[in-house]
Amino acid sequence: MTDPAPAIELKGISKAFGPVQANKDISIRVMPGTIHGIIGENGAGKSTLMSILYGFYKADAGEVYIAGKRTEIPDSQAAISAGIGMVFQHFKLVQNFTVLENVILGAEDGGLLRPSLAKARGALKKLAEEYELSVDPDALVEDLSVGHQQRVEILKALYRHADILILDEPTGVLTPAEADHLFRILSGLRAQGKTIILITHKLREIMEITDTVSVMRRGEMTATVKTSETSPEQLAELMVGRKVLLRVDKKPARPGAKVLEVENLRLVDENGVERLKGISLDLRAGEVLGIAGVAGNGQSELLEVLGGYANATGTVRVNGRAIALSGKDCTGQSRRADGIGHVPEDRHHEGLILPYTAWENAVFGYHRDPAFQSGPLMNNAAIREDAKGKMARFDVRPPDPNLAARNFSGGNQQKIVLAREIERNPDILLIGQPTRGVDIGAIEFIHQQIIRLRDEGKAILLVSVELDEIFSLSDRIAVMFDGQLMGLRNAADTDQRELGLMMAGITEDPGDDSIAAVEAQLAAKNAREAAHHG
């Protein structure tokens, strides 16, 4: 018996952007009815490859075969008619259109909308029953949760009769419950014979759902293996090109005195929406307190208040002394004087000035230090020398202090910020999304630095939307939802499921019907937000 033709086969795909070889002689076969993962670090060429497959870019060389047939894909239209559907990382939806209108856009039957809408309504109903893809067809997309918006993207592809579905980093914006639901949808699609390509940098997802996996590194396909015959450790090694410690090696924390006490912190933004609704927490020396939560639930505001660039009411004490939450003593400068270092969430806008050089970036905020002055002028030579040392100790590559910050990779940019904040020896370090957009090799290093700092007796407040990261670093974990702390747990006494529910605003474990309950909660939250905006 011969094997069926592969649903999709790439032969020798190459693509260069100027001097950068984004894809180098890539070949890959995906059998129908399977889920194939493509994993690789940022900039490994995964997205370029998929953009070629979807007709966004033209490959310099190579051939594409769909179901055994040589296929040219010059544009998206060709990809769609070849049965390829794509769910982009950043959704391609018209926000103020209804779900139905988004689904038919570009796939209408005839010049008038009415028959198309009626047909799509029926098709959507059928798809919803078949694949757990229920979405209100008449809702405006802007009123939907991110998880539901993603379902609309999947529905768009299925409505166009896609047999091959490509998903680019689909879980980055989802809560754990939503991600589980997505994986159930994908399993259902696979059972119906659809072929799915899942692009991700999360090893756990690859292990959980894929049948086969390809690893990309620096534009090349380094391996394709059966998922059942590999391990996260092996995949990580293939991605980075050397052995990587996935688990952060850490001893139990030895918490000391309370260094940060927050009581009843409240913040109302310029639109009159209350973003922080009475946050109280404390942080001890020598521990990592992780703040988990879906993005946009007040974590950013908490960091901004503690970092000194947003005004709030309430009490914050550092080493027992109350600090100003508004007025002229509430600045980043005064916070640093109080011994609070801050690695902001948004590296590109708050952490660095991208067009400035690395040595300039390595001193911002501390440039008034007498060591960097020479009379009324700045002592640039001293600053440059200092930056060189920091870059060496934090393994910033390339170690060139004269390079503009934007020319470093995400991981190396983050190392510059970390070096600047950590080397000032703060009592308290605020860290937001330390590894967002950072590759695995650098993640390992950054995590080690955080734990090293903890073991030196510093207090660390970690905000991250990556639950894995929260778990691997934190000693205690708090979950934020809708501007409030849903609860505080010892990291050893909780699990992903409990935190996942708390992230959706549920404190009581509702048992096995949890998904429905979570969705009801999310829908309620969306409705509230819609009311706010309206």
Partner 1 sequence: MDFLTLLQVLDSTVRLATPLLLACLAGLFSERAGIFDIGLEGKMLMAAFFSAAVASLTGSVWLGLLAGITGSLVLSGIHGLASITFRGNQLISGVAINFLAAGMTVLIAQDWFSQGGRTPSLMGGGRFNDITLPFADALSDVPILGPVYAQLISGHSILVYVAFACVPLSWWILFRTRFGLRLRAVGEAPEAVDTAGVSVIGLRYAAVAICGLLCGVAGAYLATGLQAGFVKDMTAGRGYIALAALIFAKWRPWYALAACLLFGLLQAVALRYQNIDLGGVIIPVQVMDALPYILTVVILAGFVGKAIPPRAGGEPYVKER
| CB closer to partner 1 out of 103 and 358 | 103
| CB closer to partner 1 out of 109 and 130 | 109
Examine residue 51 and tell whether it contacts partner 1 (CB under 8 A).
yes
Half-sphere exposure of 245 (CA within 13 A, CB side): 10
| CB closer to partner 1 out of 93 and 291 | 93
Examine residue 139 and tell whether it contacts partner 1 (CB under 8 A).
no
Task: Tell me the two tokens of residue 183.
Answer: 């994986």
Examine residue 534 and tell whether it contacts partner 1 (CB under 8 A).
no
> What are the phi and psi torsion angles at 313 (to 5°)?
-115, 160
| Residue 516, number of CB atoms within 10 A of its CB | 10
Tell which residue, 148, 147, 177, 153, has the closest CA to residue 165.
153
Distances in Å between the Cα of 418 and the Cα atoms of 229, 449, 458 are 37, 9, 14
Examine residue 110 and tell whether it contacts partner 1 (CB under 8 A).
yes
- Can you tell me which of 12, 58, 68, 75 binds partner 1, judged by CB under 8 A? 75
- Can you tell me which of 34, 48, 297, 413 binds partner 1, judged by CB under 8 A? 48
Examine residue 197 and tell whether it contacts partner 1 (CB under 8 A).
no
- The gap from C-alpha 294 to its chain's centroid, in whole angstroms, comes to 10
Element (H, E) at 77: helix 76-81
Tell which residue, 456, 414, 411, 408, has the closest CA to residue 431.
414
Burial class for 69, CB neighbours closer than 10 Å (0-12, 13-18, 19+): exposed
Give least dist CB 93 to partner 1, A. 6
| CB closer to partner 1 out of 78 and 378 | 78
Q: How many residues sit close enough to partner 1 to count as binding (CB under 8 A)?
A: 33
C-alpha span between 103 and 138 (Å, rounded): 11
User: Contact 432/299 with Cβ under 8 angstroms?
Assistant: yes
Give least dist CB 80 to partner 1, A. 5
Considering only residues 448 to 487 of the shown chain, the ones binding partner 1 according to CB under 8 A are none
- Can you tell me which of 4, 20, 72, 77 binds partner 1, judged by CB under 8 A? 77
| Residue 316, number of CB atoms within 10 A of its CB | 22
C-alpha span between 401 and 283 (Å, rounded): 35
| CB closer to partner 1 out of 108 and 132 | 108
| Piece in contact with partner 1 (CB under 8 A), picked from 100-108, 224-232, 354-362, 512-520 | 100-108
Beta bridge partners of residue 288, listed in sequence order = 460
| Piece in contact with partner 1 (CB under 8 A), picked from 90-98, 288-296, 331-339, 386-394 | 90-98
C-alpha span between 351 and 268 (Å, rounded): 24
- Can you tell me which of 20, 107, 257, 322 binds partner 1, judged by CB under 8 A? 107
Examine residue 521 and tell whether it contacts partner 1 (CB under 8 A).
no
| Piece in contact with partner 1 (CB under 8 A), picked from 3-11, 78-86, 120-128, 424-432 | 78-86
Sheet of strand 476-481: strand arrangement: 340-343, 428-432, 459-463, 288-292, 476-481, 484-490
Element (H, E) at 277: strand 274-284
| Piece in contact with partner 1 (CB under 8 A), picked from 6-14, 95-103, 171-179, 382-390 | 95-103
| Residue 89, number of CB atoms within 10 A of its CB | 12
- The residue with tokens 């008038």 is 112
Beta bridge partners of residue 318, listed in sequence order = 260, 321
User: Contact 443/411 with Cβ under 8 angstroms?
Assistant: yes
Considering only residues 307 to 336 of the shown chain, the ones binding partner 1 according to CB under 8 A are none
Examine residue 356 and tell whether it contacts partner 1 (CB under 8 A).
no
DSSP annotation string for 121-132: HHHHHHHHHHHT
Tell which residue, 209, 156, 166, has the closest CA to residue 46.
166
Report helix angle 146-159 to 113-131, nearest 10.
110
| CB closer to partner 1 out of 111 and 375 | 111
Element (H, E) at 69: strand 69-70
Examine residue 175 and tell whether it contacts partner 1 (CB under 8 A).
no
| CB closer to partner 1 out of 81 and 280 | 81
- Can you tell me which of 21, 27, 42, 76 binds partner 1, judged by CB under 8 A? 76
Beta bridge partners of residue 45, listed in sequence order = none
Examine residue 172 and tell whether it contacts partner 1 (CB under 8 A).
no
Give least dist CB 174 to partner 1, A. 20
- Can you tell me which of 20, 94, 322, 527 binds partner 1, judged by CB under 8 A? 94
Give least dist CB 7 to partner 1, A. 20
- The gap from C-alpha 73 to its chain's centroid, in whole angstroms, comes to 30
- Can you tell me which of 114, 242, 321, 328 binds partner 1, judged by CB under 8 A? 114
Examine residue 149 and tell whether it contacts partner 1 (CB under 8 A).
no
Give least dist CB 96 to partner 1, A. 6
The mark string for 17-36 relative to partner 1 (x by CB under 8 A, - otherwise) is: --------------------
DSSP annotation string for 255-272: --SEEEEEEEEEEE-TTS
Examine residue 177 and tell whether it contacts partner 1 (CB under 8 A).
no
Examine residue 105 and tell whether it contacts partner 1 (CB under 8 A).
yes
- Can you tell me which of 34, 102, 171, 414 binds partner 1, judged by CB under 8 A? 102
Examine residue 402 and tell whether it contacts partner 1 (CB under 8 A).
no
The mark string for 408-427 relative to partner 1 (x by CB under 8 A, - otherwise) is: --------------------
Examine residue 112 and tell whether it contacts partner 1 (CB under 8 A).
yes
Integer Rg of the chain from CA: 25
Examine residue 42 and tell whether it contacts partner 1 (CB under 8 A).
no
Examine residue 67 and tell whether it contacts partner 1 (CB under 8 A).
no
- Torsional class of 193: left (φ above 0), alpha (ψ -120 to 50), beta (otherwise): left
Contact residues toward partner 1 (CB under 8 A) are 47-48, 51, 54, 56, 75-80, 86, 88, 92-97, 101-102, 104-108, 110-114, 116, 156
